[in-house]
């Protein structure tokens, strides 16, 4: 099953380049590897700020959360940062219950995430 | 352009060869027998002397000789070929057919192939979703020139073999993961005066995953309860779960502080495993006083209830999951259970559903957990939250009631 939709955009905000990944649909064991490959490609491209927009994401399982946390840590170790935008509903609750929200910061919109 | 009235010479033979390889009767064989039969047919069709299948190991760094015809010693001796080196290693690395008209020390590593006096070789990759899972090769003890037609035919056999191997491996993995789960989940919880325990484990989609629960006693007489979830599923998750379970037991013997146990567990997992994330909740109960010390790593707090109370998630300090942070910290919370208190520990598979908000499911769970006998609480919870649903993720559930003997026969 492939219910994940992902798009990648490269943008600049006040001179700071960042990559925006917009995720929508459901993230689970069937497509978490796909997400990992996508994020790994961005990380190895040497980017510094990765913003993942989540408002269209309805479901996230633990293997996909792990992919996000791993990505955040890898970026951190190369001087970059992962920022989340608008996790909603059950996705926001999972980030809270697992305390993933202590490791990756979430913002209300992309502009705020890019400006921080 | 003229259309030939008759099929080209040899077409009937080719068709027969293809039928021999795609023969549906082969499907009735088990994967091992299918491989052997396929190799023997391929050998016959290509008029060759040897045929062998090597499969990529879990590290994806070595090809292991798995089935052979006319080259049985390869399998018996456990031949391992590094990916990228030698004949088979090159096929695996390049994911394409390789033909050797003249075998020699420069293009073949395997001493068995050389010792057998093989002159010419042809090999193709086993592919699943374009990823290499192994190599199929055929050899001749005479000089001969294998053709691209031979490669096409061999690839057909390799595709068939790849599917058979994939189904065999996934069956084996499932069986192994289920065996690990069976051997590690306590069949009967320890008997501790004043405490009753019941538990459930349900594999998701019929597939065992990384959820586990554990109950054991310490020399002090205290009772330890663990529930956890290793991210991922299948054999890999089950193996990691087994390691975490033993490590946690060992640290539980060393220190009384549940938060310190989680710290040591995290340190151990981060040092010895790569890319592991797990959520764990670990509690130590003094059955005499009802004092419960608990620490959680990214895991749901247990639902707690008692006679005259509504069930609610216990208010405890929860830290980040195991395996994900550079300098994680966990804290322990002490709860004082009241007489007849019930604690319900669970994993995300119980409450996470695509069609219902998480908070609604947790509210439903809190309503369902009653201060009754743990066996019936487990049954009610599974009835209310799972029912006859098709469950995708695995579920672990552990219910504990603290009911020290007060001489009251009504309970």
- Closest-CA residue of B relative to A64 is B231
- Closest-CA residue of A relative to B328 is A103
Q: pTM of whole model > 0.95?
A: no
- Compute the count of residue pairs across chains A and B with CB atoms less than 8 Å apart: 70
H/E run at residue A49: strand A49-60
Task: Provide the 10 A C-beta neighbour count for residue A25.
Answer: 16
Tell me the shortest Cα–Cα distance from A66 to chain B, in angstroms.
6
Query: Which residues lie below 8 Å from residue B54, measured CB to CB, with a gap of 6+?
Result: B63, B64, B65, B66, B79, B81, B88, B92, B134, B135, B137
**B337: DSSP letter:** P
Q: Is B25 exposed, middle or buried (0-12, 13-18, 19+ CB in 10 A)?
A: exposed
- Cβ distance B298 to A94 less than 8 Å, yes or no, reads no
- B213 touching A, CB under 8 A? no
Q: Which residues pair with A66 in a beta bridge?
A: none
Domains and CATH numbers, chain B: 11-176 (3.30.450.40), 185-402 (3.60.40.10)
The ipTM value here is 0.91
Backbone angles phi, psi at A31, to 5 degrees: -130, 10
Q: Which two tokens stand for residue B188?
A: 């009967």
Please provide the DSSP assignment of B182-236 as one string. HHHS-SSPPPBTTEEEEEEEE-BTTB-EEEEEEEEE-TTS-EEEEEEEEEEEHHH
Q: Which of A1, A62, A63, A69 to mutate to test the interface with B (most CBs of B within 10 A)?
A: A62
Give the span between the Cα atoms of B332 and B279, in whole angstroms: 15
Print pLDDT tens along chain B (411 aa): 455 556 566 777 777 777 777 776 777 777 778 888 899 999 998 999 999 999 998 777 899 998 999 988 888 888 889 999 999 999 999 999 999 999 988 888 888 888 889 999 999 999 988 889 999 999 999 998 999 999 999 999 999 889 888 888 888 888 888 888 888 887 788 889 999 999 999 887 767 788 999 999 999 999 999 999 999 878 888 999 999 999 999 999 999 999 999 999 999 999 999 889 999 999 999 999 999 999 999 999 999 999 999 999 999 999 999 999 999 999 999 999 999 999 999 999 999 998 899 999 999 999 999 999 999 999 999 999 998 888 888 899 999 999 987 655 444
- Cβ distance B231 to A62 less than 8 Å, yes or no, reads yes
- Cβ distance A97 to B300 less than 8 Å, yes or no, reads yes
Task: Provide the 10 A C-beta neighbour count for residue B129.
Answer: 7
- Cβ distance A29 to B359 less than 8 Å, yes or no, reads no
Tell me the shortest Cα–Cα distance from A102 to chain B, in angstroms.
7
- Closest-CA residue of A relative to B358 is A90
- Closest-CA residue of A relative to B275 is A70
Please provide the DSSP assignment of B292-319 as one string. EEEEEES-PPPEEE-TTS--EE----EE
- Cβ distance A94 to B232 less than 8 Å, yes or no, reads no
- Crossing angle (nearest 10°) for helices B11-22 and B31-45: 170
- B178 touching A, CB under 8 A? no
Asked if residue B119 lies in contact with residue B144, where contact means CB atoms within 8 angstroms, the answer is yes
Give the span between the Cα atoms of B125 and B109, in whole angstroms: 17
- Superfamily grouping for domain A4-115: STAS domain (3.30.750.24)
Question: What integer pLDDT is reported at residue B408 of this predicted model?
Answer: 52
Q: Which two tokens stand for residue B155?
A: 């690839």
Q: What is the pLDDT of residues A35-67, one digit of tens each?
A: 998 898 888 887 788 999 999 999 999 999 999
Give the span between the Cα atoms of B48 and B121, in whole angstroms: 9
With an 8 Å Cβ cutoff, the interface of chain A facing chain B consists of 26, 28-29, 58-59, 61-63, 65-66, 69-70, 73, 76, 89-90, 93-94, 97-100, 102-103
Closest CB to B320: pick one of A61, A89, A102: A102
Tell me the shortest Cα–Cα distance from A115 to chain B, in angstroms.
25
- Cβ distance A29 to B357 less than 8 Å, yes or no, reads no
Give the span between the Cα atoms of B366 and B357, in whole angstroms: 15
Contacts of A4 in chain B (CB under 8 A): none
Rg (chain A; Cα; Å): 13
The domain segmentation of chain A, as residue ranges, is 4-115
Cα torsion B358, B359, B362, B363: sign? negative
Q: Which two tokens stand for residue B39?
A: 């190799």
- Cβ distance A62 to B320 less than 8 Å, yes or no, reads no
Q: Which of B227, B318, B358, B396 to mutate to test the interface with A (most CBs of A within 10 A)?
A: B358
């Amino acid at each position: 099953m492939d219910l994940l939709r992902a798009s990648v955009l490269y943008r600049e905000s006040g001179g700071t380049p960042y990559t925006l990944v917009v995720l929508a649909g459901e993230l689970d064991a069937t497509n978490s590897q796909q997400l990992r490959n996508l994020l790994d490609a961005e990380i190895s491209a040497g980017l510094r700020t990765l913003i993942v927009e989540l408002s269209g994401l309805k479901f996230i399982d633990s293997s996909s959360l792990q992919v996000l946390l791993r990505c955040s840590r890898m970026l951190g170790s190369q001087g970059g940062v992962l920022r989340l935008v608008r996790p909603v509903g059950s996705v926001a609750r999972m980030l809270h219950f697992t305390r993933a929200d202590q490791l990756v910061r979430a913002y209300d919109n992309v502009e705020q995430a890019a400006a921080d | 352009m003229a259309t030939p009235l008759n099929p080209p010479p040899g077409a009937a033979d080719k068709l027969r060869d293809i039928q021999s390889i795609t023969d549906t009767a082969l499907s009735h064989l088990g994967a091992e027998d299918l491989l052997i039969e396929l190799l023997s047919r391929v050998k016959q069709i290509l008029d060759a002397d040897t045929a062998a299948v090597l499969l990529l190991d879990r590290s994806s760094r070595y090809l292991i000789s798995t089935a052979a015809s006319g080259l049985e010693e390869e399998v018996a001796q456990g031949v391992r070929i590094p990916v990228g080196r030698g004949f088979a290693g090159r096929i695996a690395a390049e994911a394409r057919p390789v033909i050797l008209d003249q075998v020699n020390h420069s293009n073949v590593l395997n001493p068995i192939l050389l010792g057998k006096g093989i002159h010419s070789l042809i090999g193709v990759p086993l592919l699943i979703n374009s990823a290499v899972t192994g190599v199929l090769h055929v050899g001749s003890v005479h000089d001969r020139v294998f053709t691209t037609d031979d490669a096409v035919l061999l690839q057909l056999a390799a595709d068939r073999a790849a599917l058979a191997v994939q189904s065999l491996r996934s069956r084996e993995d499932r069986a192994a993961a289920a065996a690990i789960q069976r051997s590690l989940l306590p069949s009967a919880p320890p008997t501790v005066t004043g405490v009753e325990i019941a538990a459930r484990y349900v594999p998701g989609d019929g597939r065992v995953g990384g959820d586990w629960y554990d109950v054991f006693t310490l020399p002090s007489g205290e009772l330890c309860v663990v529930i956890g979830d290793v991210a991922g599923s299948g054999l890999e998750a089950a193996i990691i779960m087994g390691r975490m379970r033993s490590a946690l037991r060992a640290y539980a013997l060393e220190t009384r502080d549940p938060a310190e146990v989680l710290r040591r567990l995290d340190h151990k997992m981060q040092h010895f495993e790569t890319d592991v994330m797990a959520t764990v909740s670990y509690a130590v109960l003094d059955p005499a006083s009802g004092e419960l010390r608990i620490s959680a790593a990214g895991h749901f707090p247990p639902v707690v209830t008692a006679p005259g109370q509504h069930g609610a998630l216990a208010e405890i300090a929860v830290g980040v999951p195991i395996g994900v942070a550079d300098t994680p910290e966990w804290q322990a919370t002490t709860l004082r259970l009241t007489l007849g208190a019930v604690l319900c520990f669970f994993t995300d598979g119980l409450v996470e559903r695509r069609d219902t908000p998480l908070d609604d499911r947790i509210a439903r769970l809190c309503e369902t957990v009653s201060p009754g006998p743990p066996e019936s609480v487990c049954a009610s919870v599974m009835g209310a939250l799972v029912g006859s649903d098709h469950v995708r993720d695995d579920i672990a559930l552990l219910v504990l009631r603290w009911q020290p003997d007060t001489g009251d026969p009504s309970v």
